[in-house]
Amino acid sequence: MLVLLAFIIIFHITSAALLFIATIDNAWWVEGEFFADLWSVCSNTTNCTAITDNYAYYTTMQAVQATMILSTILCCIAFLVFLLQLFRLKQGERFVLTSIIQLMACLCVMIAASIYTDRREDIHKENSWLYQGVSGGTYGYSFILAWVAFAFTFLSGLMYLILRKRK
C-alpha cells in the first residue's frame, strides 16, 4: 500500500508540475522565432507584447487564462486535501473529496485547451498586427503539456476513487 501511495503522490506532483509549466511557459503557438502563450506574444526573445484589452479576443484569452490558473490551484488544493484525508478519515470515506477536486481540475484544463483550440485561428486572424510575418506555425509544447496534464489529472482523479476502498 505504501508503494501505491508513493506512486500516487509522485503522479499528482507530476500533474501539478505539468499544469504550472503549461500555464506559465511561452509556447502555446510557435513558428520559428515567434512564440505565443496565454499572457504575451513574442516575435523573438526580446520583443514581447502583453495581451491586453487592445487584443481583439482578449475575453477569450482571459477565459483560457482563468481556467488554466483555476486548474492549477485546484490540483494543488487536491494534493493538500489528499494529505489531510490520508490520516484523518476512515476507510471508505477517504479520497472522495480529493477525487472530486482533481476531476474539477481536469475539467478546467479541458475547457482551457478546448477554447484555445477552437479560437486559435480566429485569434490569429483578428490580431494580425501581433502576428506580422507569421504565415503558419504549430501548437507548442506548452499546449501539448496542457492536454497531457488533462490526461494525468483525469487518471489521478480516477485513482483516488479506486483507492478510497483500499486499506
**Cα–Cα distance measured from residue 153 to residue 71, given in angstroms and rounded to the nearest whole number:** 9
**Cα–Cα distance measured from residue 153 to residue 63, given in angstroms and rounded to the nearest whole number:** 20
Give the start-end residues of each E strand in 26-124.
29-31, 34-36, 40-42, 48-50
User: From the DSSP assignment, how many helices (H) and strands (E) are in the chain?
Assistant: 4, 5
Query: What pLDDT is stored for residue 6 in this prediction?
Result: 85
For the chain, domains (ranges, CATH) are: 2-163 (1.20.140.150)
Which of 7-16, 21-30, 57-66 shows the highest mean pLDDT? 7-16
Dihedral sign, CA of 61, 66, 71, 72?
A: positive
CA proximity to 130, closest of 64, 58, 51: 51
Categorize the per-residue pLDDT at 100 as very low, low, confident or very high, splitting at 50, 70 and 90.
very high
CA proximity to 128, closest of 23, 63, 25, 36: 36
**Cα–Cα distance measured from residue 19 to residue 114, given in angstroms and rounded to the nearest whole number:** 15
Categorize the per-residue pLDDT at 92 as very low, low, confident or very high, splitting at 50, 70 and 90.
low
Residue 107 has pLDDT above 70, yes or no: yes
Query: What pLDDT is stored for residue 79 in this prediction?
Result: 93
Between 20 and 59, name the one with better pLDDT.
20
Between 61 and 21, name the one with better pLDDT.
21
pLDDT digits (tens, 9 = 90+) for 18-39: 999 999 987 888 877 777 778 8
pLDDT digits (tens, 9 = 90+) for 129-157: 455 555 667 888 899 999 999 999 999 99
Average pLDDT over residues 87-103: 79
pTM, 2 dp:
0.84
